[in-house]
Structure 1
Amino acid sequence: MLGTIRAFWKDQRGVAMILVAIMLPVLIGFSVLAIDMSRVNGLHNDLQKGIDAMALAAAAELDGNADAITRANRAVTSLLANKTLFSTSGDHPIVLADVTVTYLTGIPASDDITLTAAGVDSNAVNWASTDPKAVKFAEVTVNASGATDGAGAFATIFPASFVGSTDKMDVRPQAVAGFTNALCQFTPMFICNPYTSLGALQTAISGTSKPMIWLKEQQGGNNAQYGPGNYGFLATPEGDKSTQKLTEMFAVTSPAACFSQNGVTTRPGNIPPVNDGINTRFDIYPNGNSGKLDPTDAPPAPNVRKGMVVSPGKNCSYSAPNSGQANNYKALPRDNCFYSGGCTQAGVLGNGAWDFAGYWSVNHGNASTTGVITSCGASPSRYCVYNYEINNPTLKSGQEKTPPQCNTTTQTADRRLLYVAIIDCVANTVQGGSQTLPVQAFASVFVTEPAGGSPNADIYGEFQDISTIAGQNTLKKLQRNEAQLYR
């Protein structure tokens, strides 16, 4: 008997079964936990992709128009056809009640600063707004489950209650997307808003007559303050260009650069005048036609009337009329206040009143003005008159002809437009270079006469359009509107 007991005690066969029996609950627990982690990760992935799409769809509608939020809500609703596969309720169809959509004017600079579903960050800053003109971001957050299981409700297989936890949890991902407005094929130039506000600029260009601006390069050195009417240059996405390359960007028809309304960076250093680039639009080219400053890469506009006398031949060129010719040549005049000294903002801003009758008399004699008045209004803009001359090639013409006389053109009327960024130089204390500055809007400026060279580098132009909702949408072809995820 004792021998049998002793043999049983020493017998080690089947010991693995004992160890397995002890470890089996642990192995099953880890397996169940792994399954739960896989399920919750799948649920989170499903929800995150869904709300990412919702946030992007909503953000793409936030263009500043009065119905932006209405369209954004409609875009979110149209995407509510997704289902979650791993939530407690199985194939749960996502409905609007499952998410909170909040529109924001901005977001915290650091991702470490969290946002609530109501748009309030962890520093108690409220970014939420219902103003369709102010919001730029769409935030979508999955709601917590209430009495009934929601989209993110998740019940674990692992009996977490055995270790003092809960068998249920909420998966609540969040997505934030924003709307970006950029202009491409854009001259790397900014001008200081000559008006007291963006709204005042919008009002000024809303009529048929357009105000003229005298653009002046800031002459005070790197540390001098830029003021209304000053212009400067922008750093391109490829970095700071040489003076030659920068001048070429002002000459060619499609500069290879895009600039975002979220911010542009000013170019440091003293930049010589870029008049050689601008003046290619007037069929005026520098000696030697260096780089891309030639009629092939930078053809003239279809209308180059500028009050100058052409000297045809092999070395075709233009010159100012002499005293005997002066009465027969007249460029598009500046606003009257530039001659009388009554222009506002330190003399750089006109009011759109100019000598149309005098211009027409010199260049078109007794030709009827009925057509141009019908097309352009009783107080026509210079750009509209310029276009009318292009579209009516049989119009009686004086000594100076409308089309370029030295080189042929392949361009449309837009060739005489400069596209610039409008910046509030006073509010942003613009001085020197390498500053990153917010853009109030992008604008098109019609260049009315050849640009000046050193030392003043003056440019006279007429405001045409602006990229805000008050504009005429002529900048749409250059705009690139994109929605992107930020969180």
Structure 2
Amino acid sequence: MAAARPAPDVSVMLPAIIGFALLTIDISRANNLHNDLQKGADAFAIAGAAELDGNPDAWTRAERALANLVENDSRFSSVTVRADLDNGGVVNGTTACRNGGDIAWCFLASIPLSDSTAINPLTGVDANGVDRKAATSADAEFIMVSVQASRFDAIFPASFVGAGANNFFDVGATAVAGFAGVVVCDMTPLFICNPFEGSGIPLHQVISDQNFYRKGIKLVQGGGTGAWGPGNFGFLNPTGNPGYGAGDLADDIAQANTPECINSRGVNMRTGGPQPAVRDAINVRFDIYGGQMKDNDPLIPPAPNVRKGFKYKNTSNPNACTMDPVTSSDTEWPQYRHMTQDTAYDGTYGRIGNGMWDYEGYMAANGFTTADMADFVDSEGNSYSNANPPSRYDLYKYELSTRGTGNDLVASPSLGGETGVAACHASPSTDPDRRLIYGAIINCIEHEEDLNGASGDPIPAVGFASFFLTEPVDQARTNGDITAEIVDIDGEQGRGTMVGFAKDNVQLYR
């Protein structure tokens, strides 16, 4: 019989078992710490990148986002990761790469094609020696955030490794995020010259500023022999295809759902554009059809309320497809009324109105009584009047809110017999925003040479806006200009027409 083998000495094996157990725990803790720090780096990068819209204050807003929007508490280190702009960071500084608190960040104009090509977060220079730093806020499309290494105290005894070994090591993380621009789809292919360029008024403040609420705007076609200035409008080529012709442009302006998308980083201009075709394309919203616009086309329906102050050409045989505008010089003026223009246009270039219009005349000509408008009051409960007129967009929505009730204001005839019910097109839209047009906002003074064909390069859009059409485009009444009210400028501070329309394209790249 073979002799039994002696049992291993537990006292010899136990330290090794405990050591390996502690090493496994340390590896797990280190991985969790890195995961914490990586999430922090990702959050910082996304918060900063969301502000990189190319505007002059983009760096300022990005750094404020780093300082105020994100704070990451690590559960496996004694460090709370935050951006400290008072510790080496400078708001709106002139250096693209800098340190601040527990992080370093660098604004980048570009990143390498390969993720394996490292970028130095303190210099912005990649491993191939290419300087990726942004020169200005306009150039900054990416931000790289590096979380400073956090000290990790191990449980595994350093003496197991050898004399002089440390019981700690550092763990850090980096992330790169970028702002690829505001992406907008189903947008009218128009651009508007920023009405507030050079005024010192931040664009995104306009719609939340009561000084601009309900004010009309005249959009005058630019180009040709005239210079581009605030309030001019022009046309976009959303496809970027040279073959995008006048017919394509008119179709896209007329349609309820434009099939193309554009990006704020660069919109393509379309020079020229026949005014009659644009007029016809816009006027389908008022149940007016002409040129290539056909009243049986389901893609170009009128709005659900088309009251416009037009009379029938033949009152003995009224036809909604053949109507004429009534102007203040006509004897029928007291019997027909559209949402008239502001009484004065005293803003920049004479194209921003004073917000005062003939509300009482509109009420009287259309037969709307005090009882009809009892629920239509201002924020303080006061009735509207010429001294306190409403926004025409709000009035339009109020009229639509009465549809199908015993007090249907849209179907109610004016003293001359006009209603707001579309009768030329067979299938009017049910979308209340069909009377809105959308436009990219361009700093035309800054980019005048590009607009006049010097380069033909895409031009960045500083924002997007929605405009409520107050009346059809007509030579007799509007001189061929588009008359409208500013409703929203992209964001969520206005009246909700841009929510979900303009989408920030922010993503992590590394």
Same fold (TM over 0.5): yes
- Cα distance per residue 1:158-213 (max 9 Å; x no partner): xxxxxxxxxxx999774320234222211111111122245267346633842111
Q: Offset of 1:73 from its aligned partner?
A: 1.8
Q: Offset of 1:286 from its aligned partner?
A: 1.5
Q: Offset of 1:478 from its aligned partner?
A: 1.0
Give the secondary structure class of the aligned counterpart of 2:323: strand
Q: 2:419 corresponds to which residue?
A: 401
Aligned length: 399
Q: Which amino acid letter does the alignment assign opposite residue 191 of structure 1?
A: I
Structure exhibiting the larger radius of gyration computed from Cα positions: 1
Q: 1:108 corresponds to which residue?
A: 109
Equivalent-residue separation in structure 1 for 2:352 and 2:133 (angstroms): 39
Q: 2:70 corresponds to which residue?
A: 73
Q: Offset of 1:251 from its aligned partner?
A: 1.0
Instruction: Label 1:363 to 1:295 Cα distance change in 2 as closer, same or farther (>3 A).
Output: farther
Q: Which amino acid letter does the alignment assign opposite residue 432 of structure 1?
A: N
Q: 1:435 corresponds to which residue?
A: 457
Q: Offset of 1:249 from its aligned partner?
A: 0.9
Gaps of 5+ in 2: 1-30, 53-60, 83-100, 155-160, 162-168
1:446 matched to 2:447? The reply is no
1:192 matched to 2:189? The reply is no
Instruction: Label 1:483 to 1:219 Cα distance change in 2 as closer, same or farther (>3 A).
Output: closer
User: Residue 193 of structure 2 contacts residue 232 of structure 2 at CA under 8 Å; is this kept in 1?
Assistant: yes
**Structure 2 counterpart of 1:329, from 330, 336, 340:** 336
Equivalent-residue separation in structure 1 for 2:102 and 2:119 (angstroms): 13
User: Residue 243 of structure 1 contacts residue 272 of structure 1 at CA under 8 Å; is this kept in 2?
Assistant: yes
Q: Which amino acid letter does the alignment assign opposite residue 358 of structure 2?
A: D
User: Residue 214 of structure 1 contacts residue 348 of structure 1 at CA under 8 Å; is this kept in 2?
Assistant: yes
Q: Which amino acid letter does the alignment assign opposite residue 338 of structure 2?
A: A
| Greater displacement, 299-308 / 374-383 | 374-383
User: Residue 182 of structure 2 contacts residue 503 of structure 2 at CA under 8 Å; is this kept in 1?
Assistant: yes
1:244 matched to 2:244? The reply is no
User: Residue 192 of structure 1 contacts residue 231 of structure 1 at CA under 8 Å; is this kept in 2?
Assistant: yes
**Structure 1 counterpart of 2:359, from 348, 356, 381:** 356
Q: Which amino acid letter does the alignment assign opposite residue 183 of structure 2?
A: A
Counting only pairs closer than 5 Å after superposition, residues 32-111 of structure 1 correspond to structure 2 as: 54=43, 57-58=46-47, 62=51, 68-69=65-66, 72-73=69-70, 77=72, 101=103, 106-109=107-110, 111=112
Q: Which amino acid letter does the alignment assign opposite residue 418 of structure 2?
A: E
Counting only pairs closer than 5 Å after superposition, residues 30-429 of structure 1 correspond to structure 2 as: 54=43, 57-58=46-47, 62=51, 68-69=65-66, 72-73=69-70, 77=72, 101=103, 106-109=107-110, 111=112, 116-117=120-121, 137-141=142-146, 143-144=148-149, 174-179=174-179, 180-195=181-196, 196-199=199-202, 202-203=205-206, 206-207=209-210, 209-221=213-225, 225-240=227-242, 241-267=244-270, 269-273=271-275, 274-287=278-291, 289=293, 294-310=296-312, 316-321=321-326, 323-338=330-345, 343-368=346-371, 369-374=373-378, 378-393=388-403, 394=407, 395=409, 397-398=413-414, 399-407=417-425, 408-429=427-448
Equivalent-residue separation in structure 2 for 1:198 and 1:231 (angstroms): 20
Instruction: Label 1:69 to 1:204 Cα distance change in 2 as closer, same or farther (>3 A).
Output: same
| Greater displacement, 136-145 / 401-410 | 136-145
Equivalent-residue separation in structure 1 for 2:186 and 2:292 (angstroms): 26
Equivalent-residue separation in structure 2 for 1:148 and 1:266 (angstroms): 59
Instruction: Label 1:97 to 1:303 Cα distance change in 2 as closer, same or farther (>3 A).
Output: closer
| Greater displacement, 384-393 / 205-214 | 205-214
- Cα distance per residue 1:267-306 (max 9 Å; x no partner): 2x3211211211110001125645xx75411110011111
Instruction: Label 1:124 to 1:279 Cα distance change in 2 as closer, same or farther (>3 A).
Output: closer
Equivalent-residue separation in structure 2 for 1:225 and 1:321 (angstroms): 32
Q: Which amino acid letter does the alignment assign opposite residue 422 of structure 1?
A: I
Q: Offset of 1:356 from its aligned partner?
A: 1.1
Q: 1 or 2, which has the higher helix percentage?
A: 1
Equivalent-residue separation in structure 2 for 1:191 and 1:304 (angstroms): 24
User: Residue 120 of structure 1 contacts residue 127 of structure 1 at CA under 8 Å; is this kept in 2?
Assistant: no
| Greater displacement, 367-376 / 396-405 | 367-376
What TM-score do the two structures reach when normalised by structure 2?
Answer: 0.65
Give the secondary structure class of the aligned counterpart of 1:364: coil
Give the secondary structure class of the aligned counterpart of 1:386: helix
